[in-house]
Amino acid sequence: MATMRAGPATALYLATIPKPTAQEGEAIVRVKAFGLNRMDLLQREGYYPVPPQAPKTLGVEFSGIIENLGEGCKDGFKEGDEVFGLAYGGAYAEYIAANTHMLLKKPSHLSWVEAAGIPETWITATQALHLIGEMAPGKTVLWHAGASSVSISGIQLSKAAGASAIYATAGSQEKLDFCVNELGATQAFNYKTQDWAKEILAVTDGKGVDIVIDFVGANYFQGNLDVAARDGHIVTLASLSGTKLPAGVDIGAFVRKRLRYEGSSLRSRDPEYQGRLRDKLETYIEKFNNGTFNLFVEKVFPWEHIVEAHQFMEADVSKGKIICTIG
């Protein structure tokens, strides 16, 4: 089983720890694959606020086979079911204990690798766009870090929800082209070479966008205020550039445009809240088969190469999920 010491990727190691046992409402799942997420890097370094119920082992999304069920499981699962799902932690392991209301049955059209890369990113994007951003047909949306796994999901969700325009930012021409040509974004802007806020205001005739989904934090705070439309919602999911705002930030847009700026974290939510999002994800499953939604897996590693997998994520060159397989 994979666990960690706080520090760089080389601090990760495989260790033998007790096999989890199913508590009430939980299933023990034999893990076939698990997905990597940016939060894993922060947790590894000791900077992520881990929920008290989470084990020390990393990982929140996985696919696998139910080995046994605890008392009180009411979600229709049985031993031997092929599933994928979300957990508070512990997915970097051969076995995981997971609440059955956070599991979904794996359809035959999804591989173990594909299924392991769905839960965290698609649920996070759904939460940001629909529950917090209050998406409605005709609204416009900006997804920062457009080639990140959450934004890859989010751009597709925005299109399916009837967005009138979808914008994205990214740091290379390859990623910009990917956002537009592969995902369906209306336009994408290079944050390294362009003033993305001015560009978006120009193409929207000064109106801006209704919903902004941000992961960058401090460095984008002013730009987000500038580019948000009247009555716009700015949803912040991370602060990769830091949390301390630079001097001179003008917050006048909050009142002038009647903006709402809201932060959120999925992992800190209770099972009932997460379960509602899981139920929403279940309504998408057929869309992964009919071509409405596409899954993008950048690279697959055997879990024994978890150090290399983390280093690959840190290099920030991927356009999709990084997955590890077990067995």
Question: Quick one: pLDDT at residue 7?
Answer: 79
Q: Do domains 2-118+267-325 and 125-263 have the same CATH topology?
A: no
Distance (Å, whole) CA 314 – CA 184: 26
Question: Quick one: pLDDT at residue 244?
Answer: 94
Distance (Å, whole) CA 70 – CA 57: 21
Question: Quick one: pLDDT at residue 200?
Answer: 98
For the segment 294-306, the average pLDDT, to the nearest whole number, is 96
Question: Quick one: pLDDT at residue 181?
Answer: 97
Question: Quick one: pLDDT at residue 4?
Answer: 55
pLDDT at 212 over 90: yes
Question: Quick one: pLDDT at residue 240?
Answer: 86
Distance (Å, whole) CA 231 – CA 243: 24
For the segment 296-325, the average pLDDT, to the nearest whole number, is 94
Question: Quick one: pLDDT at residue 42?
Answer: 85
Question: Quick one: pLDDT at residue 267?
Answer: 83
Distance (Å, whole) CA 74 – CA 72: 6
Question: Quick one: pLDDT at residue 228?
Answer: 98
Distance (Å, whole) CA 110 – CA 289: 8
pLDDT at 5 over 70: no
Considering the chain, what is the average pLDDT of its residues? 93
In the structure, what pLDDT confidence band is assigned to residue 317 with cuts at 50, 70 and 90? Answer: confident
Question: In terms of Cα–Cα distance, which of 221, 169, 212, 209 is closest to 193?
Answer: 169
Name the CATH superfamily for 125-263: NAD(P)-binding Rossmann-like Domain (3.40.50.720)
Question: Quick one: pLDDT at residue 6?
Answer: 64
Q: What's phi and psi for 13, nearest 5 deg?
A: -155, 160
pLDDT at 3 over 80: no
Residue 269 near residue 294 (C-beta atoms within 8 A): no
> What percentage of the chain exceeds 90 in pLDDT?
82
Q: Domain ranges in the chain? A: 2-118+267-325, 125-263
In CATH terms, is domain 2-118+267-325 a member of 3.20.20.70? no
Question: Quick one: pLDDT at residue 167?
Answer: 98
Question: Quick one: pLDDT at residue 65?
Answer: 98
State pTM to two decimals: 0.91
Residue found by looking up tokens 């993305």 in the block: 196
Q: Per mean pLDDT, which range of 70-79, 171-180, 290-299 is the poorest?
A: 70-79
Q: Per mean pLDDT, which range of 43-52, 154-163, 170-179 is the poorest?
A: 43-52
CB environment 172-208: b (16+ within 10 A), e (fewer) = eeebbebbbebbebbebbebeeeebbebbbeebeeeb
Question: In terms of Cα–Cα distance, which of 175, 131, 198, 184 is closest to 153?
Answer: 184
For the segment 241-256, the average pLDDT, to the nearest whole number, is 94
Distance (Å, whole) CA 168 – CA 62: 28
Distance (Å, whole) CA 291 – CA 284: 11
Question: Quick one: pLDDT at residue 62?
Answer: 98
Distance (Å, whole) CA 62 – CA 308: 19
Strands 165-170 and 140-143, by their bridges, are parallel
